[in-house]
Amino acid sequence: MASSSAVGKLSREEFRPGTAPAALDEEGKPINPHIPQYISQAPWYLDTGAPSLSHQRRDDDERAPPSLDSWYDRGATAGPAAKKYRKGACENCGAMTHKKRDCLERPRKKGAKFTNKDIKADEVIQDLELGYDAKRDRWNGYDPAEHKRIYEEYAAVEAARQKLREEEIDNQTTTDMATARKMAKAGKAEKKDDADFGSSDEEDADEDKYADAADAVDSNNSRNLRIREDTAKYLVNLDPESAYYDPKTRSMRDAPVKNVPAEDAKFAGENFFRYSGEAPAVQQLQLFAWQAAARGNDVHLNANPTQGELLHQEFKEKRQELKENSKSSILAKYGGEEYLQAAPKELLQGQTEDYVEYSRSGQVIKGRERAKARSKYPEDVLVNNHTGVWGSWYDASTGTWGYSCCHSIIHISYCSGEAGIAATEASSAQNLLAATSEPVTSTQEISTKPDPVEGRADQNYSKKRVGEGDLILDKERLAHALREEKKRARGDDENVRAGKKQKGVSGSSHEVTEEELEAYRMRKQMTDDPMANYVDTDD
């Protein structure tokens, strides 16, 4: 037992709990025997040869970990800036705490090393040992006062915008009030308390303003309720693209079936009932009451409907009178009343339901005769002593239009009367005689010496066109035309290579003969034919 105790190893009996005293560490403190061995046993590089738990305890001289809120003191300086440049300082700003490559100041054209001006103070260098959490804290070092400053800036901008909006509304209200006062003064009413109820322009502009409120009134109205025997609106047409149905308010504005007239449909949409009968008048009266109340007048449609109706009638009379006064003043100043006269009803609509009965000869027996359609151009206007309008005569021989009084085909010419008609007929007869004369045809065979100039008139002025009909070509002239065509083609190739403008047959000053046309066709066919130079070598 003694030997085993000397070496620190206990026997089975001594190892039993309560049989052996607890081991003591180097400080004389007992070691709990129930501590696992992997905790109580020190590693080999910290083993002291005696039972101990010192490797599990923190050293007393070890500093506490830095706080999670510790951060750099931004912008702190160690003292006042130096007056002159110091050796080893930053060449850009002159601070001793960093080098030129680490300087955060704006790069100067000439640094503080050479100018000795605007030398910055030395920064406070802090050596922080941040822990695991402090290194990964994205808000570490953030100043909450910065958020307060940004919030106050946005609040100030919003207050300025609200003030500007209120000023615009006040200016618009002032303008509307001035316009309404002008309308009231233009009337002939003798009442002292002449109320201001708005203008027609604003009534049209504010119609959409109260559309939502009107929809809310309709949605809460009891007429949207239905009895069980009625067919639901969404069952009239099951196509989801037919019309929009709002299940919350049970409203369907448009007609679910488009190709059925509203009068014959089972349900034509709520807009059909809204804009039929006296409903539009009630909406205009309600809109007038809203506008009048918005301008400080004691007008309420439900509280006093009679007053609202009377004031609305008075307002419409004043507005109509003001429109008439403005219209008359404008016409008196600028004129143009004749352009305001409306065209006949038949011309505006294109059709009429007026009963008109005609006789066999085309005379009107009953009803009013239909107005004649008139064009936008001036009609029955005679100029330059003409008794007929332009286009009243047509010359079939030349296919031209003219005046029927003098047969002149020149527009806006002076009328020559019967003398002009006689001169026109004589000119037409002379042209007809020249056209019906017998020229020498191109079918006559030429047997004279080959001359490229001779015989052109016979071919060019004959009844037959060049290149048509039965032709007898002169072989010598054809050979001459082929040589000329080769020269022309060779000249075109040289011009193309030299970059000059080509000059072909179209540039010549003489008329084309049948031989020249045939030579051109032969050369063209030989050039365009892909089998022209083909030679069969199989035989």
pLDDT in tens, 414-442: 888 888 888 888 877 776 666 555 444 44
Cβ neighbours for 382, distance < 8 A, ≥ 6 positions apart:
388, 389
Residues 368/356, Cβ–Cβ less than 8 Å: yes
Instruction: Decide which of 279, 308, 334 is a domain's last residue.
Output: 334
Task: Point out the least confidently predicted range of 36-45, 131-140, 145-154, 457-466.
Answer: 457-466
316 and 271 belong to one structural domain: yes
Q: What percent of the chain has pLDDT over 70?
A: 69
The structure tokens listed for 481 are: 């035309």
Query: Is 16 domain-assigned?
Result: no
Query: Is 252 domain-assigned?
Result: yes
Distance separating alpha carbons of residues 48 and 26, to the nearest angstrom: 10
Across the range 356-360, mean pLDDT stands at 85
Residues 100/89, Cβ–Cβ less than 8 Å: no
Please give the pLDDT value at position 13. 65
- Could you read off the pLDDT of 277-329 as tens digits, one per residue? 788 888 889 999 999 989 888 888 888 889 889 999 999 999 999 999 999 99
Distance separating alpha carbons of residues 54 and 42, to the nearest angstrom: 9
Please give the pLDDT value at position 381. 81
Give the chain's domain count.
3
Distance separating alpha carbons of residues 289 and 197, to the nearest angstrom: 8
Flag whether pLDDT at 156 surpasses 70: yes
Please give the pLDDT value at position 243. 84
293 and 325 belong to one structural domain: yes
279 and 396 belong to one structural domain: no
426 and 480 belong to one structural domain: no
Q: What percent of the chain has pLDDT over 90?
A: 16
Flag whether pLDDT at 138 surpasses 60: yes
Please give the pLDDT value at position 159. 94
320 and 398 belong to one structural domain: no
DSSP annotation of 54 reads: G
Query: In terms of residue numbers, what domain contains 519?
Result: 456-528
Across the range 349-365, mean pLDDT stands at 79
509 and 402 belong to one structural domain: no
- Residues listed for the chain: 539
Please give the pLDDT value at position 64. 60
**pLDDT grade for 452, boundaries at 50, 70 and 90:** very low
Across the range 132-137, mean pLDDT stands at 85
391 and 502 belong to one structural domain: no
Query: Is 25 domain-assigned?
Result: no
Instruction: Decide which of 334, 350, 384 is a domain's last residue.
Output: 334
271 and 329 belong to one structural domain: yes
229 and 330 belong to one structural domain: yes
Flag whether pLDDT at 537 surpasses 60: yes
Query: Is 409 domain-assigned?
Result: yes
Please give the pLDDT value at position 219. 46
Please give the pLDDT value at position 14. 61
Flag whether pLDDT at 207 surpasses 80: no
Flag whether pLDDT at 217 surpasses 50: no
- Could you read off the pLDDT of 219-237 as tens digits, one per residue? 444 445 556 677 777 788 8
Q: What is the mean pLDDT of the chain?
A: 76
Across the range 507-523, mean pLDDT stands at 74
307 and 387 belong to one structural domain: no
323 and 207 belong to one structural domain: yes
Query: Is 474 domain-assigned?
Result: yes
Query: Is 491 domain-assigned?
Result: yes
Please give the pLDDT value at position 274. 72
Q: Which residues pair with 366 in a beta bridge?
A: 357
Please name the residue that has the structure tokens 């050039």: 527
**Cα→Cα distances 198→98, 176, 214, 297, 325, Å:** 74, 7, 20, 11, 18
Please give the pLDDT value at position 507. 46
Please give the pLDDT value at position 221. 47
Query: Is 405 domain-assigned?
Result: yes
Flag whether pLDDT at 347 surpasses 70: no
**pLDDT grade for 120, boundaries at 50, 70 and 90:** very high
**Packing angle, helices 475-498 and 514-528, rounded to 10:** 50
Query: Is 366 domain-assigned?
Result: no
**pLDDT grade for 448, boundaries at 50, 70 and 90:** very low
Flag whether pLDDT at 538 surpasses 90: no
- Could you read off the pLDDT of 248-259 as tens digits, one per residue? 887 887 888 888
Flag whether pLDDT at 465 surpasses 80: no
232 and 307 belong to one structural domain: yes
Cα 45 to its chain centre, rounded Å, is 79
